[in-house]
Structure 1
Amino acid sequence: MKGSYILILRIPESREHKIGKLGTIPFRKGYYAYVGSAMNNIEKRVTRHCSQNKHFHWHIDYLLTISKIEHILYRESERKEECDIAEKLNEHFPSIAGFGSSDCCCRSHLFFCRSKTQLLETCRAIGMTDLL
């Protein structure tokens, strides 16, 4: 299955954390939506994100060391839509500048919200479907 996905993450306590070349970033306690794409296999990409044993390649790899994946949503597509999805989430939530967007011109692919319910409702409203 090809397309885009959103990882809903929980960070249990506010803290700073080093995110690769982005440097040390403050993260607030709460929920985050990370938007990604997998144009070969969403299931394989999500499995990689859930794995503890991996080479750190993307910004999300660093964040996953201090957060927990609580929910996953997806949307099948033959074209890369992660930037379109990120733009829609940017209309609703504050973002972490530069996170996950080093290969595009988006402000960010990571968005913060205190409410998991609000994040999930917004993701579903923009056409995402529950995967986990």
Structure 2
Amino acid sequence: MKGTYTLLVSLAAPADIEFGAKGPRALDSGWYAYTGSAFGQGGFSRIDRHARVASGENGARHWHVDYLLGHPETDLAADVRTEASDVECAVADRLAEEIEPVPGIGASDCDCGTHLHFAPERDSLEAAVRRAHESAGNSPSVETGH
């Protein structure tokens, strides 16, 4: 299955994280939403790869989110998916209206300002993510247990 996803990631303590060529960012503790697309080979199996990076099984850093997921203070808690729709930028733009954007992360192949967003608490972040996926015209599903 292919589509658009948003990862829900907790950061237990403030951290300076190096995002490859984008450089270091000082991130507050709290919750982060990273929106990506899964239209390449394997579709949503890309999320399984992200989970392996988060668990430490995979040390490769291919995308900006890998630097966040690879930090020892992070936890990939869940993801929200919209199947069969390429709404990555629409979701990211909508999230920027509701929660704090982290400029320049995950948007190197489009005109968006970012695909990474922050909220202090999970409930507000997850609600914003669900609304963003719903506004894209589809019913999202939430996957947990990464």
TM-score class, shorter: over 0.9
SS at match of 1:73: strand
Moved more, 86-95 or 42-51: 42-51
Partner of 1:77 in structure 2? 84
Moved more, 81-90 or 119-128: 119-128
Partner of 2:103 in structure 1? 97
Partner of 1:131 in structure 2? 143
Between the two proteins, the alignment pairs up a number of residues equal to: 131
SS at match of 1:6: strand
Name the % identity.
32
> CA deviation digits over 1:27-83, x for unaligned, max 9?
0000000000101444310010011214211001111112110111100124x2100
Gaps of 5+ in 1: none
SS at match of 1:91: helix
Q: Does 1:26 align with 2:26?
A: yes
Contact persistence 1:5–1:42 (CA under 8 A): no
Gaps of 5+ in 2: 135-139
Q: 1-side partners of 2:43 and 2:79: how far apart?
A: 11
Q: TM-score, normalised by structure 1?
A: 0.93
1:1-132 matches, within 5 Å, as 1-40=1-40, 41-51=42-52, 52-66=57-71, 67-78=74-85, 80-126=86-132, 127=134, 128-132=140-144
Q: 2-side partners of 1:4 and 1:10: how far apart?
A: 20
Q: State the one-letter code of the partner of 2:122.
A: K
Moved more, 60-69 or 82-91: 60-69
**Which consecutive segments of 4 or more residues in structure 1 shift more than 6 A?**
none
